[in-house]
Structure 1
Amino acid sequence: MTPEQRLAAAGHALPPAPTPRGAYAPFCVADEWIAVSGQTCRRDGAPIAGICRAEADVAPARQAAQVAMLNALAALKAACGGELRDVAQVTRVRGFIRCGPDFTRHTAVLDAASELLALAFPGHALPARTAVGAASLPDRTWIEIELDARLAPAGAQPPP
């Protein structure tokens, strides 16, 4: 199965590739390296706004983290020419969680995005990851995620 098929089988559809909302590219490809710009939790262009202040906020923030990861994967797919199976490895994930000063469950929120990544690429090692709190994110969204990946060399068979 392809990464897209594994996601779809679990009920997750990749959205269309994101359109930049400013003076930047949704991704940059340099040789076999890809950097995906920060992707927030938007569905059909509409932001999912929220802020983590207490334990009760973890569940909706985790759902927002999945949406942000799906948007990041859509950008990654576009960077790969339309085929996520061309990804040899996602090497780094950075997650920014909009939260109050006393919130400490950043990793629990971002785990939802990492779990989605592991579902798409079960043969890959987990990437390095950073989870940090932010006082503000674009359009008051819960989450922003960026990632770095490496393409499989031309003609090589990437992991399943």
Structure 2
Amino acid sequence: MRKLILAISMLAFAGSVALADPILDRQALMKERGKIAGGLSKVVKGENPFDAAAVMTSLQALQANAEKLDIDALFPAGSDTGDTTAAPKIWQDMAGFKATHDKYLADVKAAVAAAPADVDALKAQFNTIGGDCGTCHETYRIKKD
């Protein structure tokens, strides 16, 4: 009986995942990313004090967020219309879009590996990561009015 219940539960879960909305899912990841980056930005700007443990936790959260971004699943053909600011350029240049994300992920991993010991080290890492975000937004995102 337990196996039957487990099998039914797994099928129900798999069905709900299959019905997930890629636009909403990617927007949720980006909102989470923005919130994490916003917290780090406050440290870089001196609005919040530098705390090495808190910074590392945030950088690790940023890495986990980046690793969750499955481009093939979250940017399938046909998900370029509706309530989205994803630019058509994503689907026209999927290889370039993936390369941009790969660079971002590599730079976030490098920041985690470097474990910034002070605000100046964090600034250097954060400027690189922020540059990656800017590159992607300029190329692959529609600006909101």
Task: State the TM-score, normalizing by the size of structure 1.
Answer: 0.27
Relative to its length, the structure with more strand (as a share) is 1
Which is higher, the Rg of structure 1 or of structure 2? 2
Relative to its length, the structure with more helix (as a share) is 2
1 or 2 for the larger relative contact order (CA 8 Å, sep ≥6)? 1
